[in-house]
Amino acid sequence: MPIRKIAVIPARYGSSRFPGKPLALLRGKPLIEHVYNRVRECTSLDGVLVATDDTRIMNTVLNFGGDVVMTSDTHRTGSDRLGEVAENIDADIMVNIQGDEPMIEPRIVEAVLGPMISENRPDIVTAAVDLISEEEYLNPNVVKVVVDGEGRALYFSRSPIPHGWKGDGKGLRHLGIYAYRRESLLRLVSLPQSALEISEGLEQLRALESGMSIVVVEVRGFSGIGVDSPDDLAKAEEMMLSMEEDQDLGPPRGDRGTL
């Protein structure tokens, strides 16, 4: 029987750092629309949903032709919101894609799905890229992760980890995507918030503190950023504009032939 894989993008209006973030305009479109359209490009998925507790977000998604479900307004984290969806949907694998990753690439979704369709499926799979600057390393809005020799997460933090990173060590920036076995997700959301989760403001630490395994897939060549603040939105605007200009240039002149 085929494994059914559903992506869910949790989106709430009342972000403490950036209220109304899912509806903030980026290149003339709401942030949530960018994320949704990029995720839909992943052909391995059987469906994509936005899960929200806000009618403004729901109406926006419906207006651009997306699928959306309304969820409770009492959820503490995106994973908790995803858990409500999991209770009411037929899926074996649930992919949680944060609504502030407008540059997420289909290949990253494919990458986290890979271990989930293997014989020995882990509880959770997530993704990370190399840290590229001291600014990222020191920025508390950039979540860092350290892994063991088998690629399993040891710890996630907003603090600069590993200590003493100077650009030549094993420093990884976490990306806002998780693939869960449905039963692992339902177990996770049944647990109370953990001490480290509350301290760091990172829901994945609840899983680690409860003994669940998180496999970290390292992605190469990805330079997109998550949007945690209005400043990040401006950076994303600049990056996307630059990418569009590069695409407009077309192939190098030597490849265009002669007239």
Q: Which has more pLDDT, 229 or 251? A: 229
- CATH code, 147: 3.90.550.10
Q: Looking at the domain assignment, is residue 255 inside a domain?
A: no
* 8-state DSSP, 202: -
Q: Whole-angstrom Cα distance, residue 255 to residue 258?
A: 9
CB 110, CB 217: distance < 8 Å = no
Q: Looking at the domain assignment, is residue 235 inside a domain?
A: yes
Q: Looking at the domain assignment, is residue 256 inside a domain?
A: no
pLDDT at 176: 86
Q: Whole-angstrom Cα distance, residue 156 to residue 203?
A: 10
Total domains in the fold of the chain: 1
Q: Looking at the domain assignment, is residue 160 inside a domain?
A: yes
pLDDT tens for each residue of 196-238: 999 999 999 999 999 999 999 999 988 888 888 888 899 999 9
pLDDT tens for each residue of 76-98: 888 899 999 999 898 999 999 98
Can you give the pTM of this predicted structure? Answer: 0.87
Q: Whole-angstrom Cα distance, residue 145 to residue 162?
A: 8
Range of the domain at 106: 5-249
Q: Looking at the domain assignment, is residue 209 inside a domain?
A: yes
pLDDT tens for each residue of 49-62: 999 999 999 999 99
Helix or strand run (H / E) with residue 190: helix 182-190
